[in-house]
Amino acid sequence: MGMLDGIRVLDFTMNAAGPAAGALMSDYGADVIKIERPVVGDECRNFPPIVDGNSLCQCWFNRGKASVTVDLTDPEGTEFIKRLIPDTNIIIESYRPGVMKRFGLDYETVCSIRPDIIYVSVSAFGQKGPYSTRPGYDLIAQAMSGVMSITGEAGGPPMKSGLTLGDLFGGMNAFASAMTALYHWKATGVGQHVDISLVHGLIWMNGSVERCNVGQCAKRQGNHHPTLSPYGLFNGKNGQSIIIAAVNKKIWESLCDVMGRPELKHDPKFEVLNNRNENQQELIGYIEAWLGQYDDINVPLKLLEQAGVPSCKVYDNNDVFSDPHYRGNNWLVKAPVMPGITSMDTFVARGPNAGFSREPGTFRRAAALGEHNYEVMERYGFPKEEIDRLQAKWAKK
């Protein structure tokens, strides 16, 4: 059943960061119940691509979770939740700070029912401090972590990542922190409140901030390295690009030979690393002129590989999607779709985040909205008529 067999999770999250954390717990066998807003559910149910009226995106973010619709603004809704808490090991929530308290489901209240709960709050700016109630979007996390300021061309504007970086790193961070707390709970019986911030997560990855200690404010510098040349992205024909990483003299000299430019090895402009850094633009020009001779960039790439020059193609998503190494390692798996998607039985999706020799993760299908209302509410003593009454009441708002 997986490493988290027997662990019960209540997932009050939405959009991307929180759901990703709960989905990871599900991969490893936790019993995750997602509490969703009646009628509309998690916003990510509307994220593209949409197939047969259902989101493939939600098929990933809410994989392996049961779905129960509950109106948390109704005391009858929170009373139901409170019946689940004694059986729950981990709560994840991603409301704006203060909202769970308004529902009567804040950490302190939940603790009075189950003192050893692990309660993970995911927000943009954290639970405390002057910015804590500010609206948070992935883009704001990218901007306020300094990450955009160090990404992009030197002469151009700051650049966002094409990833929803704040959300996905935040989800992994929430998962990592929950697992650390879970180990500690297993060892000591003690739970706690875990405060995860998307902005904080990206700052944690931004090591260049520490250069401010010596008076340096790192700036964006495009696709090349300030103190290593040639090392970066080089453009060929028809929008094709490759990476070349000539990390030492021997590799640099092999590159000169592959390009048919052995004279560059002894050119005083390029012979020593410092020279190559000083004349980086000229050197980039030579390399791109060489690449520009080939219609298919795989041809020079092959030559580089044969010469032992670290290099690779810059993959687009189709390259990623079809790569046999990635499929063979289960980085991309054939995964089940959610109910309601009828034009495909499976889709190719990102599989578990890591390989485990004994207890590999499993991608289980996402649920339709409210699919588990009866199963879960009956398990906690609600008769069918009562479930019908509550769901009808909650659906009206």
The verdict on 189 binding its own copies (CB under 8 A) reads no
The verdict on 53 binding its own copies (CB under 8 A) reads no
Give, as ranges, the residues between 197 and 226 that touch its own copies (CB under 8 A): 197, 199-201, 203-214, 216-223
Task: Give the C-alpha separation, 385 to 113, whole Å.
Answer: 27
Task: Give the C-alpha separation, 27 to 22, whole Å.
Answer: 9
The verdict on 387 binding its own copies (CB under 8 A) reads no
Residue the block writes with tokens 């901030």: 209
The verdict on 146 binding its own copies (CB under 8 A) reads yes
* Active-site pick, 167, 195, 296, 323: 167
From the list 62-70, 125-133, 274-282, 364-372, the region that binds its own copies by CB under 8 A is 125-133
In whole angstroms, the minimum distance from the beta carbon of 275 to its own copies comes to 20
Residues in the interface with its own copies (CB under 8 A) total 130
CA angle 165, 171, 175 (to 5 degrees): 145
Q: Give me 207's structure tokens.
A: 């090591």
How far is the CA of 269 from the CAs of 7, 207, 227, 272, in angstroms? 62, 32, 15, 8
Nearest residue (CB) to its own copies, 130 versus 381: 130
Nearest residue to 19 via CA among 41, 3, 42 = 42
In whole angstroms, the minimum distance from the beta carbon of 227 to its own copies comes to 8
Nearest residue (CB) to its own copies, 41 versus 201: 201
Instruction: Classify the phi-psi angles of 189: left when phi > 0, otherwise alpha if psi is within -120 to 50, otherwise beta.
Output: left
Is 195 a catalytic site residue? no
β-partners of residue 313 are 242
Beta carbons within 10 angstroms of residue 19's beta carbon: 30
In whole angstroms, the minimum distance from the beta carbon of 155 to its own copies comes to 10
Q: Which residues contact 149 (CB under 8 A, 6 or more apart)?
A: 158, 219, 220
Nearest residue (CB) to its own copies, 147 versus 259: 147
Helix (H) or strand (E) holding 198: helix 198-205
Give, as ranges, the residues between 293 and 352 that touch its own copies (CB under 8 A): 310, 312-321, 324-326, 328-329, 331-332, 344, 347-350
Nearest residue (CB) to its own copies, 156 versus 268: 156
From the list 32-40, 133-141, 294-302, 383-391, the region that binds its own copies by CB under 8 A is 133-141
The verdict on 98 binding its own copies (CB under 8 A) reads no
Report the DSSP pairing between strands 118-123 and 8-12: unpaired
In whole angstroms, the minimum distance from the beta carbon of 372 to its own copies comes to 24
Beta carbons within 10 angstroms of residue 161's beta carbon: 15
* DSSP classification of residue 315: -
From the list 101, 269, 274, 356, which residue makes contact with its own copies (rule: CB under 8 A)? 356
Give, as ranges, the residues between 231 and 290 that touch its own copies (CB under 8 A): 231-233, 235, 241-243, 245, 247
**Active centre residues (catalytic):** 167
